[in-house]
Amino acid sequence: MATTQNEGEERLARLNANLQKVEDLSKRLTAALAHRKEADPALSGPSQDLYMQAATAYVAEMMQNPSKLIENQVSYWGKTLKHYVDAQHVLLKGEIKAPADPTPKDRRFSNPMWEEHPFFNYLKQQYMLNSEMISNTVQGLDNMEPADKKRIEYFTRQIVDMLSPTNFLGTNPDALEKAVATDGESLVAGLENLVRDIESNNGDLMVTLADKQAFKIGENIATTPGAVVYRNKMMELIQYSPTTGQVHETPLVMFPPWINKFYILDLKPQNSLIKWVVDQGFTLFVVSWVNPDASYADVGMDDYIRDGYLRAMAEARRICGTKQINAVGYCIAGTTLSLTLGHLAKAGDKTVKSATFFTTLTDFSDQGEVGVFLNNDFVDGIERQVAVDGILSKSFMSRTFSYLRSNDLIYQPAIKSYMMGEAPPAFDLLFWNGDGTNLPAKMSIEYLRGLCQDDGLARGVFPVFGEPVSLSDIKVPICAIACETDHIAAWKSSYNGIKQFGSKDKTFIMAQSGHIAGIVNPPTKQKYGHYTNDSPMTTPDEFLAGAEFHKVSWWPRWGEWLAAQSGKMVDARDLGGPENPVLAPAPGTYVGAIPPENSKTATESVT
């Protein structure tokens, strides 16, 4: 009995000590929040006009079709009342258990207590019923423009997801159980994680998704051997060391997106597309874009094309002694590759022999899920903010894309980190996801206004070096890979853009999975397959209806296509050349830092 009493006193002492730590951490939290930089309010949510439109549509629906709304409400009331009666009935029988639960399965509610404990099950069922009613109400708003209705559905879903009982300590059984089991230590660790994240982001809250100490670029991530063979203010050009005695004559130049770092294509040897390409006997060059600071405010799309695309192509040709190269563009880099190809076509320049596009939009008439952030309420705010900052901050970009998958990339990580006190996992993909880049102010607005909002490329009016370019001018052989569940570049939109290219030789592949996993899909994993259709391009629906499914990765299929565009075999090439000395080992210097003054000094002697 004495031992039990002593244990109880010790636990109480630990609990009180942890509560004192919470008080101390709260002071740090207050100090950290004081450093938060004021941002344009428009970056935090849609304008009030959108909610007014929804309210107006709801009133119109009440007046024009009251029976539909009444039916929805009566159904909700009926389910809610039945649930209450069922719960009371079980309790009156003296049984401490939950009533029957007809709500759909949801992995947020995986703890058995959500199914078995009457309190938690009641919360869960009511939340699910409330969510269903709100969703049905919004979907029933017929007196709205489709684009506005899509935005209302999206932002309503964000509010509903935010209010899930799993997101609050008092209604999260996992967090409560761990707090009790650890005498409050999990809450102290969670608050430490919260304070750390806010301090490291200058007062802003961004959940750390991966253990930042677990990876070091160039040591256990981005390790494919190679060297920087050219550097200017916009990029480093990396040439990768050959692994075969002979290589295809035509080199390949790969342009990753500059919204993130290039090493998504070189995470580790087992899933590195860069290593795989080299192993297939291709001379591979990859652009590593600079991470701009405010000194890059006036850098626009023309600068990326001139000092990035055209320069990388020229250096690769010089090093390899060839007249042509093959090119790859991923996401925004694919969009800009198409601008570059349009410019080259007008100039009669045959530098590019063939082009491959990964998850690329060139027709923005249907902007997909990300389109909810492309209205003037957001873009006007971005324009005002970048005019002050000189850049579009990587934190805004990261937060925007995370909210497209908020339960997976915001709420679940926050629960584990802040409520459970768990350390972030050592996960290479999430490490890369948190290693974002800024965008230059001028380039950001050109892209958002001219390409996303005005659809200038598909309409043939977006200028490159002052002259508009057109998709129909592009005649080189094309291979495009889009991803079935891509939430950034919808595959149907990608298809509609590729269809408008003037090329007679066009191959379209739809890979399973999303924007990243669909591309980083090595053949050895046998995880995701792909669809092909050899018929002429018509509509996305017809493509899918007549498509053949292949259970394997698309990489080998593309490798065969690329080999056919890459000429004869020649002896493997050394890195660099007389005019392209090796400047640094891969993955280079730009991948790890914001430019600043050091990198600019380093480039002046090279350019």
Q: Give the residue numbers marked as catalytic.
A: 331
What residue has token string 């640094």?
584
Tell me how many degrees the CA angle 185-189-191 measures, rounded to the nearest 5: 115
532 beta partners: 509, 548
Sign of CA dihedral 542, 547, 552, 558: negative
**C-alpha 101: how far from its chain's center?**
35
Q: Which of 362, 353, 342 is nearest to 302 (CA)?
A: 342
Cis ω for the linkage preceding 587 (within 30 of 0): yes
Q: Which of 518, 590, 524, 573 is nearest to 284 (CA)?
A: 573
What residue has token string 């002492």?
13
Supply the Cα-derived Rg of the chain in whole angstroms: 27
Round to whole Å and give the CA distance between 131 and 144. Answer: 21
Round to whole Å and give the CA distance between 587 and 582. Answer: 12
Beta-sheet pairing, 439-440 with 391-392: antiparallel
Q: Which of 339, 310, 605 is nearest to 466 (CA)?
A: 339
CB 411 within 8 A of CB 161: yes
- The 10 Å Cβ neighbour count of residue 222 is 28
- Residues ≥6 apart with Cβ < 8 Å to 241: 224, 225, 226, 227, 278, 575
Looking at residue 109, its amino acid is: F
What residue has token string 């005002």?
384
Reading the block at residue 345, the tokens are 């076509």
Q: Which of 191, 207, 199, 283 is nearest to 244 (CA)?
A: 283
535 — phi, psi (to 5°)? -70, 160
What one-character-per-residue DSSP string does 129-160 give? HHHHHHHHHHHT--SS-HHHHHHHHHHHHHHH
What residue has token string 């249907």?
366
CB 82 within 8 A of CB 73: no
What crossing angle do the helices spanning 173-181 and 185-200 adopt, rounded to 10°? 110
CB 291 within 8 A of CB 284: no
Running DSSP on this structure, what letter comes out for residue 258?
T
Round to whole Å and give the CA distance between 264 and 330. Answer: 11
Round to whole Å and give the CA distance between 288 and 218. Answer: 13
Torsion of the alpha carbons at 64, 69, 71 and 75, rounded to the nearest 10? 180
Round to whole Å and give the CA distance between 223 and 291. Answer: 20
**C-alpha 151: how far from its chain's center?**
19
Round to whole Å and give the CA distance between 130 and 356. Answer: 46
CB 283 within 8 A of CB 243: no
